Homo-oligomer: A and B are copies of this chain.
């Protein structure tokens, strides 16, 4: 789960990472009130989960109330690369002497947290890493030992930060690591991490990705989910407990098991089609879950045909067939369905479908055959 900038900063602040003071606002009135409280100059920042807000005009300095109002009006409701701005963050302006970069990522390959620091902050760090690899210092941390003072010093000295901020920067990194671990983040990124004119360090931006699987331990974080930014169909799927990703094509897909569904998308593409979604009905799906999944798939108006690709292990093909029959009964779909049932109770499942004689439902015996058929039907 990705947090908005200000949610990330509030999370940082809970762990003692210094951040500029600020307030969120969803209306121009709230924004101006917040700006008055914070004082001028202040910064009006669009809260959307996408980079390049500054270039898109989503970050503006307001030197007085008049500007705070103008900027808030302009930014609230603005579209930034497909993301509508529903919220702004009003923040005290910072007097910036230097811009650094710091991040901690959950490094799957090394199986350790990876801490990175650079003095070349405020720009695209992937570019820095490419053009000047030495400018980005990388250090893995043994999670059982934790982040030690020597890690902080080594990062600071090797990155070549100003001598007078080695200590405060080290303290900031220690707290950032603490936030990463305690909040069970997959990523915490600060770009830029600023040194102010009075030689303080602070996180001027915050990018935080939390582990969805850990949210049961962090109810406060779970409530930060930005439902407004979420696709309606994905939201509907999530509420039904389905593993769903919306895609651009017109072939609705339902399968069981993430790998098989991914493979199904690929095979559909090879057959010349394009999937409208990823939907993993999961292991041991019961009829109701299947019915519910069909509803989600068909809620996408782009869908012109649907492919069921089931290889039953725990999932029983007869349950899938029952779910599909129930869905036809309830929803009465108008698009063609191609169904491939293999594995546990496949014979029973196919027989149920044959008996039901659903309109415009085609059964296929192989995954490849089913993919070709559905692409043909989707048009």
Contact = CB atoms under 8 A, between A and B. Distances in A.
Interface of A: 144-145
Contacts of A144: 144-145
A135 to B, nearest CB: 33
Nearest to A146: B144
A144 B145 CA distance: 6
Q: How many chain copies does the complex carry?
A: 2
A143 to B, nearest CB: 10
A145 B145 CA distance: 9
2 contacts: A144-B144, A144-B145
A119 to B, nearest CB: 32
Nearest to A142: B144
A144 B146 CA distance: 9
Nearest to A145: B144
A144 B142 CA distance: 10
A26 to B, nearest CB: 37
A369 to B, nearest CB: 50
Closest 2 CB pairs of A and B: A144-B144, A144-B145
A216 to B, nearest CB: 15
A144 B144 CA distance: 6
Contacts of A145: 144
A184 to B, nearest CB: 16
A146 B62 CA distance: 50
A144 B143 CA distance: 9
A145 to B, nearest CB: 7
A242 to B, nearest CB: 31
A56 to B, nearest CB: 46
A370 B145 CA distance: 50
A141 to B, nearest CB: 13
A79 to B, nearest CB: 48
A145 B144 CA distance: 6
Nearest to A144: B144
A229 to B, nearest CB: 37
A84 B155 CA distance: 55
A253 to B, nearest CB: 40
